[in-house]
A and B are shown apart, each in its own frame.
Chain A
Amino acid sequence: MTDQPRPTTDPAPGLTRRRVLQGSLSAGGLILLPGVLAACGGGGGAVKSGATGSPASTATPSRGGRLRVGHVGGGTAETLDPNSGIVGIDVARARQLYELLFDFDAKGVPQPRLAVSLEPGARPDRWTLTLRDAAFHGGEPLTADDVLYTWRRIRGKALQSANAIAAIDLKRTRKASATQIDVVLSRPIGDLASLLAHRASFIIPADFDDFAKPNGTGPFTLVSFKSGERSLMRRNADYWGEAPYVDELEQISIPDTTARYNALQGGQVDAIEAIEFAQARQIGDAGNGPVKLVRTPNASALPTYMRLDDDVFADQRVRTAMRLAVDREQSVQAALLGYGSIGNDLFGKGYPSYADELPQRAYDPEQARSLLKAAGQEGLTVKLYTSRAVPGMQEAATAYKQQAQAAGITIDLQSVPAADYYSERYYLKVAFGQDQWSGSFESTTLDGLLPDSGFNITAWDDGVWQRRFVEAQSIVDADERNTVYQELQQPLYDDGGLIVWGYVDFLDAASSKVGGIVPSPLFNLGYYEFRSWWLG
């Protein structure tokens, strides 16, 4: 249980962008998703694209048994501290043992979990939070003190969710009763629930510090844990909510993708996260064998970014030309073997705030050529930084290079070792590069488009736009707020620096006897909601 100092600069409230944990990448301050681990070799193929989510669940729910899940794991860095886990398996364990005040459903909408209600005051900088009648594994009832202690700990130690709850004024926020808190914010925020659903803001009991002996309110209790190897949990008999179907849950770290896949095929585990494109193709979408594919569409965006403060990309016509020079359909086939969908130069596809109405930008090399001519950049040569840091990235760059030739654009590929791609030498330093982002429009905006964003990859600095966004954040009504968010995407679509050519799916697999899996865009394996899974 590490209390290793892990300064985080994660600026991301709510859903945030995540990075895929792939071979040579390593732990970061953000929680790393297992994501899609694929060693794909290019070359398109006739794969059904756009097939959605979960294979049909098996028959009717049944109780009992031990569910065994193979995770990517995080080696010795795995921790039981629910507020500072880094890798996917940390999140997966914390979600069984502890709970959040709000939790995102499969559509990315926050739903009350340990909270019963969250009511705004006259202005949305004051809220009343009411807690559920729940108890910790040790028997202590959940109280306002526990929540306040958790928030103070997260902020004081700058843990994962510190920035998500940065707007809470902890000095003026007060306990109103045993189960009620008067929350005071430093500025009005309409969607406080999303911030309280931040993936590592699990509620721990007041003054708790022995994380080796977890004491949460979650549906499972811990039996044993060895970091980097496995853990065993048992159903929490006193759980306040709907009890898990399975009696026991075993989570095993199997870092090697082939070994993880073999373990599932051989029946040593019942489900695995993060399979390769080629393995997904082997299983097939039909899912009538002993193993089925669990596919989550629109899981994360794969953008190519252009910095607006670069001499060449400062010209809006050049940016549009670059966006028209990519053949999105072909890239999804070539780089993702069809396990993805095309993008429209915006983040947050699939979320309620996504601007669905904007026309889909298509491959048009002729138009690109004439735009470049008008900008005096005919026969443009640019250098694109690429890497194998994310599966499909380098293949996408290679495809783009060829596609852009038709518009008279020469793209020189500069390949960077995967381990170096996100180092300070390259990341946020290059004018034309690739990346991977997840999350809704609003969460990715907080990360990348505001003056205090840590990851402004496009150097976006439209002050008027930024003020409008902050104003929109204070709207309490979700529909009203989303309408403004959608309007705010038009300028990004027209003038932004992103070429979001595609979205890659999460690809997981499970034994066909496992039922109840509901894919979620937040994390692999349906955001690890194991309490609703059963063994047929």
Chain B
Amino acid sequence: MTHTDIADRRPLIRTEGLRKVYTTDEVETTALNNVTLDIKTGEFIAIMGPSGCGKSTLLNILGLLDQPSGGSFVFDGTDVSGFNERRRADLRRGTLGFVFQSFNLIDELTVYENVELPLLYLSLSSAERKERTEAALDRVGMAHRRDHFPQQLSGGQQQRVAIARAVVASPQLILADEPTGNLDSSNGDEVMKLLSELNEAGATIVMVTHSPADAEFAHRVINLFDGQVVSEHFMEKEYALPHQSGE
């Protein structure tokens, strides 16, 4: 698959002139300045840039956790930039999956219960919840640890559980914020392979990362600096999607 392929795909995210300004008592900080993006379904995007360049802010806005100060944000054909918290929450449910640097598993819930959590809010039958949870655990290879609590797992295992949780509801978009940041290189590699597999299976992924090695897994890398997109390039590597042969 090349970028020409991707250009034919259905757009999932389109932003134009996206701005985010934080105001405190004394200073006004512009975290995002005129960011225009176009992300298609099935893409794997890496967002890179130095600390404080606005990567996380962008990810939070794309993940509907935060509201832009200006500009437009069309998600799957709907302009969501003016959505209030309630509508954003409704949209997040089942549509988005998150993977965090610090895993953010709930310590009081078992592996199984953590993965099942998103399904609880989707009014599914318990049989279906069970089936999908087990499938997600299988997919990340954590089924044998289903009754453990997060603290009993290694970092890499915890992140795999977090990924299972992110995909269990079959979201349209997976947002990953430095998913390997707290992992050693071999565990990090495994997590990246897992994300890559998910992408090959059809998931759209937007990932913030510091690591050029991780960025290698993406189709496209967007570089941010001081809240602005400074460069954007497609990886040279070719990718093969199962349902579509490359050139």
Q: Do A and B come from one complex?
A: no
Residues of A within 8 A of B (CB): none
Residues of B within 8 A of A (CB): none
